Amino acid sequence: MSIVVLLRAVSDPELAGGIRGSSYRLDAPSEDAIALGLSLRSCSPAPMRGVAIGPPEWEMPLRDAVSLGLDEVERLWGPSAAAGDIVAHARLLACALSADARAVIAGGVATDHGSGLIPFALAELLGWPVIERTIDAGIEGADLVVRALAGGGRRTTYRMPGRAVLVAASGRALPYPTVARKLAARRAAVLAVTPPAGQAAEPAFTFEGFGPARPVTRHLLRPSTASGAGGRLRHLMAGGATPSGQARGAMAADASVATQLADLLDREGLLD
Amino acid sequence: MTAVLVLASRAGSGAVSLGMEFCRRAGAEADLVWAGGDSLPAGAWRQAWRAGALTGAQAADVLGQTVSGASYDLVLLDEADGGREAAARVAARLDLPVIAQVVAIRADQAGVRITRSIEGGARTAVIAPCRPTTLAVVSASVGGTDGDGTARESAVLETPARTTLLEVISEYRPLPGELELDQADVVVAGGRGVGGREGFAQLEELAGLLGGTVGASRVAVDAGWIPYRRQVGLTGKTVAPRLYLAFGISGAPHHVLGMRNSSLIVAVNSDPQAPIFRLAHVSIVGKVEEVVPQLIGEIRRRTDARTLVAAR
């Protein structure tokens, strides 16, 4: 039995020019996945392998993953991996899994520009169940027992006889690696694998260009009848929007506030 | 003519909003699979099917059947409510391209162009699909509109039976006092403006209704209104819940450092100049002692109504 952790690195400008020699670091969801993997391994010793789809610049953060507790790491990269297609990535990962893999653990976002779709596509290809927002995992007898967050603050515990794809919930703390472990990890080998060209499919889409962030408004508030004329005017001039960082759209409390807030929570899926 | 299929389960769905806007501008027609309430979401649908409440895997089965029997250019789903799982499963099953975090769709002479958010929302990318059918998962940041829609025909879709390998052993909902701050999806936090222990009792009631827990600023902890383990901030705990409700908290830097990564921040304060409003996504100038009981009443009314419908 082995545990596979999906890893992803992100560029961090603060690391550029530093002594690490890499401006990439593991992203937070990958650290969540490692922490969950360590929790699973603590109750059932098993080799833990990291797999990433990324360029050679990711090798330093992958060694960081080794210092955090992974036994080995593998990096997949080639023309078929560089396209960023979710299904193609899932197929590559499915091929890279060893036959004895008991659980695949991913962070909240996956390797494809942070879409978070890879774990589901991978589960579909493997025919395994997938559990989102996992907070704890262990082995009881021959079964995998998993505790996950559900809506309305509920905790659900699942038991399954077979294998599963687990998506780690955020916020689990990782143990800080010792200096000796960090130094040893610096010399760890990262297995680089180029997927065979035959696995490359025709592109699903092409990137035509990039642009600035799109301003998005999640909620529109009606101007309050309780506010003064000036306040209502400011609210209307802000389009009723209350984007982060701007208090222009602040509304004064009146009888409709509770209704509007409850509508907002309902739309965000926060009311059970 | 471009054909669009929308799968939605919630009023105010971003997929419905983007789909209808695209159809209006591009002269396209849209079908709907509706897994929501009684009335259809806003829009003139060519055809609509009704499905019951669906899990992500069930939605994938329904969507897979609908898509494989027709020729849709674009299939739109919401990120929430199992949409991501449904899209990824259908894409893997039918080998269709899927694009996530979609914030805009347009059509020009060259065809459909999809804009998605990348790098955590710092940039966008414009994507041209190369295959006949593309799945698009609409970002949760895209808001929608309410309203009653119309459809030429409305049928009921049978949800396929699905065997699951998962056995649910137990399910429980922790009380607000049992839930640690860093484990909660919802944190209802109070500061000086809450006024005292009675105010925090109301916040605890609200947190219970939302399945969350209670947090506090240093001022409230120092006043002895709530224990230290509930303190959020530099000298307390750092949290990043889906919802952070800040009642009567001014937004001092040491508090903000502990909660600024929350997905949705709602601030209620009687001071319109409170620094928390510079950070909040929704800002309400008002008295905590008025807003909290109203909100508790409104949420209780809605949850009671849902319980009644479920019991029927």
Per-residue pLDDT of chain A in tens (272 residues, 90 and over written 9): 899 999 999 888 888 777 777 889 998 899 999 999 999 998 888 899 999 999 999 999 999 999 999 999 999 988 777 766 888 889 889 988 888 888 999 998 776 667 889 999 999 999 999 999 999 999 888 889 999 988 777 889 999 888 999 999 887 778 888 899 888 988 888 899 887 766 555 677 888 888 887 765 566 666 666 566 766 666 666 555 554 444 444 565 666 788 888 888 877 778 76
Contact B294 A258 (CB under 8 A): yes
Torsion angle of the four alpha carbons B296, B302, B303, B307, in this order, in degrees rounded to the nearest 10 = 150
DSSP bridge pairs for B106: B113
List, for residues B269-289, the tens digit of each pLDDT value. 988 888 888 888 888 888 899
pLDDT at A231: 64
pLDDT at A225: 60
Chain A residues touching residue B85 (CB < 8 angstroms): 120, 130, 132
When CB atoms are compared, the residue of B167, B268, B303 closest to A158 is B167
Interface with A, mutate which of B75, B94, B98 (most A CBs under 10 A) = B98
Q: Is residue A209 part of a domain?
A: no
How far apart are the C-alpha atoms of B276 and B189, rounded to whole Å? 12
Spell out where chain B has E strands: 3-8, 29-34, 44-45, 47-50, 74-78, 98-108, 111-118, 123-129, 134-138, 150-151, 154-156, 167-172, 186-190, 213-216, 243-247, 264-269, 282-285
Query: What residues contact B95, with CB distance under 8 A and at least 6 apart?
Result: A87, A201
A107 and A165 housed in the same domain? yes
**For chain B, domain boundaries:** 3-156, 181-308
The dotted CATH code for B3-156 is 3.40.50.620
Nearest chain A CA: its distance from B32 CA (Å): 19
Q: What is the mean pLDDT of residues B51-71?
A: 84
Residues 16-45 of B with CB under 8 A from A: none
**More confident position, A268 or B204:** B204
Contact assessment for residue B232 and residue B189, using Cβ atoms and an 8 Å cutoff: yes
pLDDT at A156: 92
Residue B36 has pLDDT above 90, yes or no: no
Contact A257 B137 (CB under 8 A): no
Closest CA to B146 of A251, A232, A259: A259
Minimum CA–CA partner of B171 in chain A = A156
Nearest chain A CA: its distance from B6 CA (Å): 18
Q: Is residue A207 part of a domain?
A: no
User: How many folded domains does chain A comprise?
Assistant: 2
pLDDT at A147: 92
A107 and A240 housed in the same domain? no
Q: Give the strand order in the sheet containing B134-138.
A: A205-212, B123-129, B111-118, B98-108, B134-138, B74-78, B3-8, B29-34, B47-50, B154-156
Residue B20 has pLDDT above 50, yes or no: yes
CA A113: distance to chain centroid? 10
Closest CA to A74 of A66, A86, A84: A66
Chain B residues touching residue A208 (CB < 8 angstroms): 113, 126-128
How far apart are the C-alpha atoms of A83 and A6, rounded to whole Å? 18
Contact A161 B165 (CB under 8 A): yes
pLDDT at A176: 86
- pLDDT band, residue B188 (cuts 50/70/90): very high
DSSP bridge pairs for B268: B247, B284
Nearest chain A CA: its distance from B171 CA (Å): 4
Q: Is residue A123 part of a domain?
A: yes
Complex ipTM value: 0.82
Domain encompassing residue A73? 2-199
How far apart are the C-alpha atoms of A181 and B14, rounded to whole Å? 47
When CB atoms are compared, the residue of A129, A209, A257 closest to B164 is A129
Q: Does A59 touch chain B (CB under 8 A)?
A: no
A241 and A131 housed in the same domain? no
List, for residues B118-136, the tens digit of each pLDDT value. 877 788 899 998 888 899 9
Q: Which CATH superfamily is domain B181-308 in?
A: TPP-binding domain (3.40.50.1220)
How far apart are the C-alpha atoms of A185 and A61, rounded to whole Å? 10
A159 and A29 housed in the same domain? yes
Q: Does B105 touch chain A (CB under 8 A)?
A: no
Minimum CA–CA partner of A116 in chain B = B84
Q: What is the mean pLDDT of residues B46-54?
A: 82
Q: Do domains B3-156 and B181-308 have the same CATH topology?
A: yes
List, for residues B131-170, the tens digit of each pLDDT value. 888 999 998 777 666 666 676 656 666 666 666 677 888 8
Tell if the pTM clears 0.90, that is, is over it. Answer: no
Contact B285 A131 (CB under 8 A): no
A158 and A270 housed in the same domain? no
CA A7: distance to chain centroid? 9
Average pLDDT of chain B to the nearest whole number: 86
How far apart are the C-alpha atoms of A235 and A241, rounded to whole Å? 8
Contact B281 A244 (CB under 8 A): yes
A60 and A182 housed in the same domain? yes
Rg (CA), chain A: 23
Last residue of a domain, one of A147, A168, A199: A199
A107 and A134 housed in the same domain? yes
